[in-house]
Amino acid sequence: MLVAYVSPVGESSSPASNGSTGPALRNWPDEYDRPLLKWSVSRSHALFVVTPALKLLDLNLAGDALSRSDSEIQIAGGHFAFSDKARTGSLRAFLASESFGAAGWSYRRACGSIVVIHVEWLPPALGDAGDPPVALTFQPADLSERYVWADFAPYFDITRSEAAIVKRLIGGQTPLAVAEALNVSIETVRTHIRRIYNKLGVSSREQLFATIALFRIG
Q: Which residue has the higher pLDDT, 142 or 100?
A: 100
Element (DSSP H or E) covering residue 79: strand 79-82
Of the listed ranges 27-31, 40-44, 169-173, 206-210, the one predicted with least confidence: 27-31
Calculate the CA 119 to chain-centre distance: 9
CATH number at 145-217: 1.10.10.10
Percent of the chain with pLDDT over 70: 75
Class for domain 13-141, per CATH?
A: alpha beta
Q: For residue 216, what are the CA distances in angstroms to 6, 27, 66, 123?
A: 34, 35, 26, 26
Query: One fold for both 13-141 and 145-217?
Result: no
Residues 72/109, Cβ–Cβ less than 8 Å: yes
E strand residue ranges, 19-78: 21-23, 47-50, 56-59, 73-76
Residue 14 reports pLDDT greater than 60: no
Residue 126, classed as helix, strand or coil, is helix
Number of Cα atoms under 13 Å in the Cβ half of residue 164: 11
Q: Under 8 Å CB-to-CB from 30, ≥6 apart: which residues?
A: none
Q: What ranges do the domains of the chain cover?
A: 13-141, 145-217
Average model confidence (pLDDT) across the chain: 82
pLDDT tens for 66-81 read: 999 999 999 999 999 9
pLDDT tens for 116-136 read: 999 999 887 665 666 789 999
Number of H helices, E strands in the chain: 9, 11
Dist. CA 184–CA 201, nearest whole Å: 25
Beta-bridge partner residues of 79: 55, 76
Phi, psi (deg, nearest 5) at residue 194: -60, -40
Q: What is the mean pLDDT of residues 101-127?
A: 87
Q: How confident is the model at residue 3 (pLDDT cuts 50, 70, 90)?
A: very low
Q: How confident is the model at residue 170 (pLDDT cuts 50, 70, 90)?
A: confident
Residue 56 reports pLDDT greater than 80: yes
